[in-house]
């Protein structure tokens, strides 16, 4: 026996796969995917159980490493990313941990962008204790990535666009560098999601996700995943899942599974609002600088548009007048909002507003922050689905105070 597949046309497109890929329904014929809340699965007889435990027969066995709801989420995400396989994990960080545990050993070397999610930097840095060395390079500087390569480099890790500056990496160029050096390229595709950007189609080997963000899309659960080739998932990641239990709960998988059904329309609608807000912010007298990949003023506008299907994503950052001395002004803009949620999460239908220098990037030294371009006057928006005019009015209140 193998676990059956949904009968879909081979050329089904992304928005169809987002709604339809998963598992065939159970004998009860449910139309919406079921949430299987069970820790183990029953076998018809002892010999079948033995075959299943020996991996000679594919079946659901035990909740630490297999569950039908989790499998549905994995198959759907793999279909969207255009990879053969996917493995769900307890969180985005658990996905990166699985990457390290599954692919790397003491003595190996990693090249990583210095602009990735702060906790990702900490994870790679912490693994120095186990003999893993990581070189951090400027996100957009392709030559710096190339120069950082060593004979023992096994992995390149990029996140594009980055948070909060929306800096973009050239995925195809990094894939070429990785493969020339016998290494693999991993892309954290959290900010674009497969609705806008499919890293594997540009040469990346593995796609990493925090399902917590746009895949769930409504700020409900924590989840993660790795997408890649069948043999890598089956031989490198599944054994880690079995022995180390970085398991995604069926409930969280179910929320992400259902969230993906609206992913493409959410990404488009939220990105449109973000772009409109970015253009509006650029024209505001209280604002010094705006960062969004759709703006022609973005340093990598053309690369971003080519790589992200012409869509900039839903994150916009801006610097209020005063730049580095603008902390009070940034706080005033944030505190004057009544619609936006003051939180660092993103990927929600609710617009979130945050002050990167004192929250998500608060653990960096002032020097590191300035090197990263994150000044005290910076405000980050992760735009949701509220009415655009209400969002403008929400930001106007604070910006009006600054003008006086």
Ligand X SMILES: *Cc1c(COP(=O)(O)O)cnc(C)c1O
Binding site for ligand X (CB under 6 A): 91-93, 117, 120, 159, 163, 188, 190, 210, 212-213, 222, 224
- Which C-beta is closer to ligand X: that of 181 or that of 259? 259
For residue 191, the minimal CB distance to ligand X (Å) is 6
Rounded least distance, CB 275 to ligand X, Å = 20
Closest CA relative to residue 396, chosen from 338, 352, 350: 338
Q: SS3 for 185? A: strand
If the CB atoms of residues 153 and 160 are measured against ligand X, the closer one turns out to be 160
In this complex, which beta carbon is closest to ligand X, that of residue 161 or of residue 398? Answer: 161
- Identify which of residues 153 and 212 has a Cβ nearer to ligand X in the complex: 212
Which residue from 124, 132, 121 is spatially nearest to 371, judged by alpha carbons? 121
Nearest CB to ligand X, comparing residues 88 and 326: 88
Q: How far is the CB of 172 from ligand X (least distance, A)?
A: 20
* For ligand X, the closer CB: 202 or 222: 222
User: Rounded to the nearest whole angstrom, what is the least distance from the CB of residue 26 to ligand X in the complex?
Assistant: 29
274 in Cβ contact with 161 (< 8 Å): no
Between 205 and 216, CB nearer to ligand X: 216
Contacts 24+ apart (CB under 8 A), 238-245: 238/65, 238/87, 239/102, 240/98, 240/101, 240/102, 241/64, 241/65, 241/87, 241/89, 241/98, 242/64, 242/65, 244/98, 244/101, 245/64
Q: What is the DSSP letter of 384?
A: -
The number of residues making up the chain comes to 404
Whole-number minimum distance, CB 250 to ligand X, in Å?
17
Q: How far is the CB of 115 from ligand X (least distance, A)?
A: 10
Nearer to ligand X by C-beta: 113 or 284?
113
Minimum distance from CB of 151 to ligand X (Å)? 29
**Residues 237 and 225 sit within 8 Å (Cβ to Cβ):** no
Beta-strand pair 341-342/352-354: parallel
218, 348 contact by CB (below 8 A):
yes
* Residue number with CB closer to ligand X (66 or 120): 120
> Which residue lies nearest ligand X, judged by its C-beta?
92
- Residue 189: CB minimum distance to ligand X, A: 9
Least Å from the CB of residue 89 to ligand X: 9
For 69, 153, 214, 261, the CA distances from 255, given in Å and listed in that order, are 10, 37, 12, 10
Alpha-carbon gap, residue 378 to 131, rounded angstroms? 36
Residues 74, 75, 76, CA angle at the centre, nearest 5°?
90
Q: At what angle do helices 250-259 and 68-81 cross, to 10 degrees?
A: 40
DSSP structure class, residue 235: I
- Determine how many CB atoms are found less than 10 A away from the CB of residue 238: 18
């Amino acid at each position: 026996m193998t676990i059956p597949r949904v009968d879909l046309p081979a050329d089904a497109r992304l928005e169809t796969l987002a709604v339809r890929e998963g598992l065939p329904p159970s004998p009860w014929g449910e139309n919406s995917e079921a949430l299987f809340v069970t820790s183990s699965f029953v076998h018809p007889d002892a010999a079948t159980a033995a075959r299943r435990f020996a991996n000679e027969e594919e079946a659901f066995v035990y909740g630490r490493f297999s569950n039908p709801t989790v499998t549905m989420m994995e198959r759907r995400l793999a279909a969207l990313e255009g990879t053969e396989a996917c493995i769900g994990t307890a969180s985005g960080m658990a996905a990166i941990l699985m990457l390290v545990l599954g692919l790397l050993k003491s003595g190996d070397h990693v090249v990583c962008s210095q602009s990735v999610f702060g906790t990702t930097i900490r994870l790679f840095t912490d693994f120095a204790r186990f003999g893993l060395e990581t070189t951090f390079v400027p996100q957009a500087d392709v030559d710096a990535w190339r120069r950082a390569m060593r004979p023992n480099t096994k992995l390149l890790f990029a996140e594009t666009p980055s948070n909060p500056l929306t800096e973009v990496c050239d995925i195809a160029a990094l894939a070429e560098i990785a493969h020339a050096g016998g290494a693999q390229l991993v892309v954290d595709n959290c900010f674009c999601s497969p609705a806008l950007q499919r890293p594997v189609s540009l040469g990346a080997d593995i796609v990493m996700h925090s399902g917590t963000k746009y895949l769930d899309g409504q700020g409900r659960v924590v989840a993660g995943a790795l997408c890649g080739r069948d043999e890598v998932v089956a031989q490198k990641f599944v054994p880690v899942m079995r022995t180390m239990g970085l398991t995604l709960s069926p409930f969280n998988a179910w929320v992400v599974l259902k969230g993906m059904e609206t992913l493409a329309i959410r990404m488009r609608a939220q990105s449109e609002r973000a772009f409109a807000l970015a253009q509006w912010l650029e024209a505001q007298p209280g604002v010094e600088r705006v960062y969004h990949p759709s703006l022609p003023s973005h340093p990598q506008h053309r690369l971003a548009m080519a790589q992200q299907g012409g869509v900039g994503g839903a994150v916009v950052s801006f610097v209020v007048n005063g730049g580095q001395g603008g902390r009070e002004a940034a706080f005033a803009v944030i505190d004057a909002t009544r619609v936006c949620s003051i939180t660092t999460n993103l990927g929600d239908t609710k617009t979130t507003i945050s002050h990167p220098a004192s929250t998500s990037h608060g653990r960096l030294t002032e020097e590191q922050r300035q090197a990263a371009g994150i000044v005290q006057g910076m405000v980050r928006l992760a735009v949701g689905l509220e009415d655009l005019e209400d969002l403008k009015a929400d930001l106007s209140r604070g910006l009006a105070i600054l003008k006086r």
